[in-house]
Structure 1
């Protein structure tokens, strides 16, 4: 594994991380804020608590996902756009969205499948963007 770390594209990781975080802002604050609130059982116009964790937590998870994807893509020697897209879809659906559904199907989420569709869509698109950036750079 440590051989793979030397093969990582750090510019790609930084760029993919920034793109993933920006997508989150656009997705949850710009495109789907009311739907996201409804999926959580809140009023459509509710504003989230703007704690430091609210901003730092998602960014850190985006960094971990991007870094992990870079390691896996290097280990798998993904070197073409088709394989990068397939990788992004597999990670997006197979890990990120599946885990989102698993988290959502507990009694604390009033509309778990609605929540999973919104968050899962973000995860799939984010995974694809990260994978294409890591491949391209």
Structure 2
């Protein structure tokens, strides 16, 4: 099965549930669990939190829709339908693409603590993609 064929057979309810779970995790992760550490990774621990435009709320959810849809299509194309296989797939994607790409993005002159930022954001994406893979495999 090709990825394009697999995309046609994606369970969209599972995709939407995954997007909601991944997005809620992001809110909890960055605004709750690791809010102070995240601010420190950005060099903003002593500055007041700026007002956030709608883009900062809706943008990540839309991007997450693309990540989850791609994950669902790849899992279909690779015929991943067991929890163990879904976990291995999620770890490969989470570490090899999502966390690694976070490091690539963070290493730039505008990021005061790129490795700290990468640890916080990369681990969020790793947890998010594991949750996504488990939801997708649960809904077949």
TM-score (norm 1): 0.95
Distance 1:26 1:44, change over 3 A: farther
- Is the aligned partner of 1:94 residue 2:93? no
Deviations 1:68-98 (A, max 9, x none): 1001000000010000001111111110000
- Is the aligned partner of 1:51 residue 2:42? no
C-alpha distance in 1 between matches for 2:114 and 2:67: 23
Specify the alignment match of 2:138 in structure 1: 136
Specify the alignment match of 1:109 in structure 2: 111
CA apart distance, 1:52: 1.2
Q: Unpaired segments of 5 or more residues in structure 1?
A: none
CA apart distance, 1:35: 0.4
C-alpha distance in 1 between matches for 2:98 and 2:65: 14
CA apart distance, 1:44: 5.1
Specify the alignment match of 1:122 in structure 2: 124
Specify the alignment match of 1:61 in structure 2: 63
3-state secondary structure, aligned to 2:14: helix
**Which of residues 22, 25, 31 is equivalent to 1:23?**
25
Specify the alignment match of 1:72 in structure 2: 74
- Is the aligned partner of 1:13 residue 2:15? yes
Deviations 1:15-61 (A, max 9, x none): 10100000000000110011000000102573243101111111111
Q: Is the 8 A contact 1:33 1:44 kept in 2?
A: no
3-state secondary structure, aligned to 1:50: coil
C-alpha distance in 2 between matches for 1:128 and 1:73: 12
Aligned length: 137
C-alpha distance in 1 between matches for 2:66 and 2:4: 17
Q: Unpaired segments of 5 or more residues in structure 2?
A: none
